[in-house]
Structure 1
């Protein structure tokens, strides 16, 4: 049977909406069918198991959170600097907050991986691959900071996103200002990439 890739993406988007709204325990084939408005059994035709569904969700998360090539072309045209690094971080935070359901779904998958060993490796591999890609991007772009600094930014951005997408401790401070403070605090003036 030939799979309709558009339908596959629609089902994955419905799965992300279910995760964001109901959490990982609410993620079932039937719930995705209902969310997508498709006949019962459709999701299981595209994703045979829960593990396959979760794999499809990770693929879709990557697609939906991918950088805009035009934005990145403009950033890449600038010389490397702390300010450029801050603008890349700002772009990441903007994409993650604009795709609220996708980011909340990703947090849900991470929480579920803490409870379910069979999911832990899938989530861990996906996160580590993303981190390695970020470190390599930073190095190849000539931006300040090495793996240790990139890890610190991951930790800080995760906390910032959790704050901005749930209940904030300081909603009055603009997100761009928080990003600037993170860069100032976590990225020394001169950092040699490691």
Structure 2
């Protein structure tokens, strides 16, 4: 029961961050959003900093589970990479859009906080290594800069879709980038 309360609080915190931004995050608002008795969130996370740390860990844990590289089909060829990358981006901008917005809000909020920002950066490095392995598997010659470029492009496209153009078709830009990276 207690673990379920903690999970509800963290889900509500991510929802608040992803819909209303970092300034909306407070223990009382999380309790209210989660339908928990007042003070429940502060039982788990005594300070705002502890709550932010809990949210960072929650996002990283859920992203690792939902985009587990070992559970995904092997990539063979550029078309598979393009299809897979587009599908992942569509998930990040669709069903997981609130979490994606929350992650971006946290990256901006915690940029100057080495301790709290480290789990997000560590998660990013894990996805960079995973992306490097994929681009190697499909034949991209220089995987480290290619993976970073692909991830940076995706971040820009996702941010644009989530903030400016919700109907943006990501596929043309992703396809062009993948083919250009493979050709260079």
Range class of TM-score, shorter chain: 0.7 to 0.9
Provide structure 1 residue ranges, at least 5 long, that are not aligned to the other structure.
none
**Structure 2 stretches of 5 or more lacking a match?**
none
Residue correspondences, number: 178
C-alpha distance in 2 between matches for 1:122 and 1:47: 14
Aligned twin of 2:84: 88
Corresponding residue number in structure 2 for 1:188: 182
Query: In the alignment, which residue of structure 2 is the partner of 1:26?
Result: 24
1:1-194 matched pairs, under 5 angstroms: 4-65=2-63, 66-67=65-66, 73=71, 75-76=73-74, 78-79=75-76, 81-97=77-93, 98-114=95-111, 117=112, 119-123=113-117, 125-141=118-134, 142-143=136-137, 144=140, 145-168=142-165, 171=167, 173-185=168-180, 187-189=181-183
Q: Normalising by structure 1, report the TM-score.
A: 0.78
- Tell whether the 8 Å contact from 1:33 to 1:42 is kept in structure 2 after alignment: yes
1:176 Cα deviation after fit: 2.6
Q: How high is the TM-score relative to the length of structure 2?
A: 0.82
- Measured against aligned partners, the alpha-carbon deviations of 1:63-82 in whole angstroms (never above 9, x if no partner) come to 4334356x964622x53x22
Question: Is the 2:132–2:144 Cα contact (8 Å) retained in structure 1?
Answer: no
Q: CA deviation at 1:62?
A: 2.3
Task: Give, in whole Å, the separation in 2 of the partners of 1:120 and 1:135.
Answer: 19
Separation in 1, partners of 2:146, 2:79: 15
TM-aligned CA deviation for residue 32 of structure 1: 0.5
Contact 2:17 2:105 in 1 (8 A): yes
Q: Which runs of 4+ in 1 moved over 6 A?
A: none
Residue-by-residue CA offset, 1:139-175 (whole Å, 9 max, x unaligned): 545433522111112211111111111112x93x522
CA RMSD of aligned residues (A): 2.5
